[in-house]
Each structure stands twice: as C-alpha cells, then as structure tokens.
Amino acid sequence: MNKKNWIIILLVIFLKLYAIEIYPQNIFLDHYEIIPPLGKIKSIATSMNKIFAISDNYLLFFDKNTLELIRTTYFSQDISLVAYDPFYDELWISSVNSIVRYNISSGSIREYHFNNFVKSIGLTSDKVYILSQKKIALDRITGKFEIVSEFPENTVWYNIFEKKLLDNYRFLSPFFYQDYLNETNDPFYQYEITALYQDGIYLYVGTNKYGILRYNTVSLVRDRIIYGPLSTYNIKLKKFNDKYYFISEAGISSLSSDGKNLWSYFRLSKKPGDFLFIGNEYIISFGSQLTKISGAVSLPITQFGNNIITLNFDQTSIYVGTVDGMYKILRETREPIEFGPDRYPVYVIYPSNEQIFVGGEFATYRFDQRLNQWFQIMPWGAKDICEVKSNFYFLTVDNQLIRYKPFGDSILIDSDTNVILLPYFNIYDIDSDGKILYCATGSGINYFDPETQLYNPIYNLPRIKYNNVAVVNEDIIAISDNCIYRLPIKYRD
C-alpha cells in the first residue's frame, strides 16, 4: 500500500473519531423526539418565528409566539455558540473541534474542522466570519478558511456571553433567579444568568438550570420557558394521579399526562432515595430517614436502622422497603411497624385490591389482607411489578420477566403452575398502559403483547440500552444513560 493510500485511511479514521453525531439523525424518518434536561443555557439566537438555544449539548427550537419547545437535537460533542444565518435560514454552531452548519429545514449538518476557541460568529451574504485568536473568514461554497485583516461593517454578529454585558440591563439586577417557596426545599439557591440576546424589544435571558426568561424591555413583562426535567441522570419514574414524576439527585420533575407537555419542579437540597406524593405533600426518603416536605418546610417522620430502598402506600398505610426488611406506618402516624416475611432487602411494594405484592432479595411474596397472612409466590427476588389484564408481571433482580396469573378465589393458595418464566433477559425496567407491557432492555424498547405472547421490538427508537420506560398519555418515554426519548405510540409498529 502506497503512502497516499495510508494518508487517506488515516484521514478517514481521524474524521470518524472527531466528527459530531446528532440525534435524531433524520427528522423525517426518525419519529421520536429527545426531551432535554433543564440545563445550562450557553447561547440564544432568533429568527422571524423561532427561538434557538443551546442548553448543555442540546440545540433547542422554540415557537416564538407560543414559547413551546418544537424540536430538540442532541450533539455528541460539546457545543457553545449558535448564530442564525438570515441569508440562508441556517444555523452556525461552534463546537470543540469544528464549526457546524445546521440546516433548519432538513435537520442535516455539515462540519468544518476548526480547533481554536470561538469568541464570535459573524454573517454576511457570502461569508461566515469567526473571531478567534485571529480573524477568520469561511467561504460557504468552498468550505475553506482564510485569515482576514478586517471584518465587513455590515456583518451580523453573535457573541459568547460575558458577565459585563449585564451592566447594560440593570433591571435584571441582582442578576440571578430563585425558586418560589412552594417549588423548592432549598429556597436560597441562586440560579445565575449565563446567556443574553436582544431581538427588537425582547430580551432573552438564559440561565443555569432555571430555563429561559423573555422580557419585554418596554413593559418589563416576563415570560419563563421551561422545557424538561431537572436532570436525565439516575432517574426513577413514578405516577401519581394524572402526572408522571421524574426523581433525580436535583429533585422531582413532574410531567402532565394530558398531552400538553407541562413541566413543574420541586427541588431538593440533598440526594433523595424514593418518594410519595400524598395530598399536596411529598414523603421523601433521604438515606435511612423518612421526611414529610411541604415547600421549604421539612418534618422528619421517622428514622430507620438502614437505608430506605422503596416506598408505596394505600388508603390506610405507608409501606417502606429497607435494606433489612419491610415496615408499615399507619397514615397520620409516625411509628413504623415491622411488616414483612423476612429481613432481607425489599425492592418493590405493590398494593393491589386486598393483596400487597412485595419483591425482596431472594423471593417474591403476597400478603392477603383478608387472612392477614403472607404467601411466597416464587423463589426469585423482584425489583418491579406491573399489572396487565389481570396478570402480574414481575421483573426479577437478575433482569428476567415472570408472569404470575392468579386463580380467582383460589388466589389464597399459590402454586408453581401459575408462575411462568418468559423467554427474554436483560430487562431493566417495565411499565404498562393496562393492555401492553413495555420493557426497557439492553437492546432497545420491546413490548410484550399478552394476547400473542410475543415480544415486539420498537424499531422507531434507537436500539440502545435503556434504564427506564414509561407510558405517558399516548407517548412512550424511554430513558438511556444520555438522553430521554419520546415516541408517540402510533409509531410503535
């Protein structure tokens, strides 16, 4: 192989390693959307009818009139500055190793490798200008960079944020934001301003984990744009009433299940374990302590000997699964009562009619409230439980799925004949819409149809490992290590 071929091969490898990938890769074929976390806003730009913002590594599109999130693109590399090109209706975005040309209509990108720090991007009808360590011009047609001595006077500039810009907008003082008292258990935390962009009479203010604020600079009327959960890492999903709740180290994010995509938040000052929402109050575990929280007020309920793993409740009691067994606390009391068949870790508690199903470390149990008696259902521990068409599905601690079919009134007697191990493995979470069971697996989201007894892969979601899955209204929510995906159920097949 000659030297020229080696150079070509090395160039291809280099471009592959350092190239940016985006998701969705094709907005016409990929029917899913990505839900971004409430991250750090680094840059803002606008067109006639859209707002563009970089939040962490996400490029966000908002409707300029309704302020609704209409598109999200996730970048595999760090991005920092977005500039809107009014001449070609495109976006120019700076990243660590390149300048990215983003086509708004098709969602496609073209990448120009550029290793220097970008301070500003300027646009004219024929060239893109970059203020870096030197003054650079990029030819749109050839893609070539050249050093220039001066920039044209008619250049439209977009700049990185500098705190000294805040001096031009004294009405923003004290230059940070705080949550309302009913939205946080840490009311004095300050969310700094991290981006500014003025578009006519409107001033757009980006923050670190507080969203985007839009001010009318004449009337000072303020609108706030929030668009996703507090975090995408270490998430648990729970449903209470008509909302889904995402709990993470940052706090609790709730999403309405009516299809309106309305988010609300309750921030926490320390890392939570699990939680319940009863009435208008949160019952939250922090390590081995169970606490009732209403706004900034915290009231300890009780302290256990070991860490709390899971919580659930019914009309009479709160059930607590810990590292050394299960307890119950009668509603409106604070005294825990030992309650459970053994003293091993309890991972899931599922009250259902007059039965309580409990998944432990080495077995799964059922408590019959009429007989006040425990029964062992199967000699495998479980970490999640769902009910579909009168059948119960247990996700075992070793990521297997098991179907449990009660025998009507003879449910009082458990037998191996009504416990069936289903032929699938590496399942990490399950959820149900009452008809279909959805499974987050190591190779995508699959759904199990009880009528056909078959697993069906959902090809309209990336075939990657997912940690959680939920069905919210008519959408499938799938959570991976990096992103939260939403796919309308109508595209499931």
pLDDT in tens, 406-439: 865 444 445 545 888 887 778 999 999 889 999 9
CB 377 within 8 A of CB 391: no
The least confident of 12-26, 77-91, 379-393, 451-465 is 12-26
Average pLDDT over residues 383-387: 94
Instruction: List Cβ neighbours of 289 (8 Å cut-off, separation of 6 or more).
Output: 300, 302, 303, 304, 308
Nearest CA-CA partner of 229 in 259, 273, 274, 267: 267
Indicate the pLDDT class of residue 18, thresholds 50, 70 and 90. Answer: low
What is the tens place of the pLDDT at every residue in 130-168? 999 999 999 998 999 999 999 999 999 999 999 999 999
pTM of the model: 0.89
Does residue 265 carry a pLDDT above 70? yes
- Per cent of the chain over pLDDT 70 is 93
488: left (phi over 0), alpha (psi -120 to 50) or beta: beta
First to last CA, the chain: 47
How many angstroms separate the CA atoms of 398 and 384, rounded?
A: 11
Does residue 13 carry a pLDDT above 50? no
The residue written with tokens 């179907």 in the block is 403
Beta bridge partners of 327: 320, 338
Instruction: List Cβ neighbours of 165 (8 Å cut-off, separation of 6 or more).
Output: 196
